Chain A
Amino acid sequence: EPEVTQTPSHQVTQMGQEVILRCVPISNHLYFYWYRQILGQKVEFLVSFYNNEISEKSEIFDDQFSVERPDGSNFTLKIRSTKLEDSAMYFCASSGTSGGDRNEQFFGPGTRLTVL
């Protein structure tokens, strides 16, 4: 069964450093998303991406964040200058095919980001 993969599983960084979180969505999907979950809290939407551009973003997704689909398979989330409060589990998700049911978002296993 196809699945969303994410790397690395755990990233530790110093405050102020840039990090790039990587995701490989399901190959024929068209819609891509990033969510985050701070330990013990709700899953929060960050951004959605379709047709090589951002379609929606939340207030959390400020100018320190960016997303990119550099090739036909990867989808990345970059945080330019990490802050302590960016420590969270980051989930990538994808959905939608050209002709099938687009109601199901498939989530990856997540990348745990720890900012020291």
Chain B
Amino acid sequence: DAKTTQPNSMESNEEEPVHLPCNHSTISGTDYIHWYRQLPSQGPEYVIHGLTSNVNNRMASLAIAEDRKSSTLILHRATLRDAAVYYCILTLFGGSQGNLIFGKGTKLSVKP
């Protein structure tokens, strides 16, 4: 599986936007970009995924660089509940037919 690189930690203020970066310079043409998060003492939770185009859903937006070697998860207005570890994961064929390889992720702290 292609490797991703994320900062170990980030801080944000409540109600401000958060941009979580991910580098994946060895991504292949058939790799999807997934983002999951893990709130304290809970199981991982799907956030968003994309292939080439930017994506929006009710939780977040995903901005994918034109060369696909990096992406950014955007939380438009951080809340205290968004404090979690965020994982950027590359998967083949969309991920549902195979495993997710979790890295260490980015621990997001949200200050009131």
**A residues adjacent to B (C-beta < 8 A):** 31, 33, 35, 42-45, 48, 50, 55-56, 58, 91, 93, 95-96, 102-110
Interface stretch (choices B21-29, B37-45, B71-79): B37-45
- Known: A42-B104, A43-B38. Contact between A48 and B46, CB under 8 A? no
Any A CB within 8 A of the CB of B49: yes
Additional A-B contact list (11), CB under 8 Å, known A43-B102, A48-B98 = A45-B99, A45-B100, A45-B101, A45-B102, A48-B99, A96-B96, A105-B36, A105-B46, A105-B96, A107-B43, A110-B43
Known: A43-B38, A108-B43. A102 touches B96 (CB 8 A): yes
Give B contacts to A, CB under 8 Å.
32, 34, 36, 38, 42-46, 49, 87, 94-104
CA A12 – CA B104 in complex, angstroms? 27
Q: Nearest Cβ distance between residue B75 and chain A, in whole angstroms?
A: 18
Partner of A56, one of B42, B87, B98: B98
A42-B104, A44-B102, A103-B34 as given contacts; A55 in contact with B97, CB under 8 Å? yes
Chain B residues positioned under 8 Å from A50 (CB to CB): 97
Select which of A31, A55, A103, A107 is within 8 A of B45 by beta carbon: A107
